[in-house]
Amino acid sequence: MKDKKTRTQERIEKRNESYNDYVEQVTPKHSCLKNCAQAFVTGGIICTIGQAVMNTIQHADPKNPSINQLPRKMALQRSYQTIGGSCQWYAAAVVENAGKYRDALVQEYHKYPALIPVFDFMDDKAPGKVRKMKKVWTEDGYILFWTAPKAETEMDKAIQYVVYRFGPKEKVNLDDPSHIVAITRNPFYKLPYETGKTKYRYVVTALDRIHNESKSVSKKVKL
């Protein structure tokens, strides 16, 4: 016959087993295969069109044999509103600047910074706005400082900041990448001071690790 201590231990073990079974039933199941497939599809959507670098520079445009195929391919890529970017294959050809391909990207097709497309299927909540933005003269020059936004979770934390600059007669348009002057992990930006007579508006946003962009905060400065 079992003693009282043994019976108590068995009841505890049975209760724990029942609780674990319940937790197993109500806990959402995450499929690694499904998540990987979703990430692959999303990545494919972002980079649907790619460039075979050597093929592009070694073959002439059928309608303009005096130039290679890069201008026409870039025009085709940008005619599709659903295309958020492109991939260049193979990378060594770009690095080696074959056919001045890299020069064309830097000087014309990708001369402005770009934000990484948002993986909103993972998280679509933007971080909070930056706080306490101010301009300060320091030994290192004129600096624009700000404080990171508050975050409740790791996914809400700001890990990068985007700094935009607009002239005195320019409207703030964060969809225009030509106004991006920095994408940085630092909570400050060194202002390019000149004579102190020209007014500019600097706008700062925060990015989380999924690349959601926060609402903007602006500051007028004279440079």
Band (pLDDT 50/70/90 cuts) for residue 45 is very low
The fold for domain 131-222 equals Immunoglobulin-like (2.60.40)
CA dihedral 213, 216, 217, 221 (to 10 degrees): 110
**Contact at 8 Å (CB) between 152 and 194?**
no
pLDDT band at 197 (very low <50, low <70, confident <90, very high): very high
Q: Which two tokens stand for residue 73?
A: 């391919």
Per-residue DSSP letters for 55-115?
A: HHHHSEETTEEEEESHHHHHHHHHT-TT---EEEE-HHHHHTTGGGHHHHIIIIIT-S--P
Amino acid at 54: M
Contact 181, 191 (CB under 8 A): no
pLDDT of residue 50 exceeding 90, the answer is: no
Look-up of token digits 């030509």:
178
Neighbour tally for 127: CB within 10 Å: 25
Report the pLDDT averaged over residues 103-108: 95
Question: Residue ranges of the domains in the chain?
Answer: 32-109, 131-222
pLDDT in tens, 82-101: 777 778 888 999 999 999 99
Query: The whole model's pTM is what?
Result: 0.71
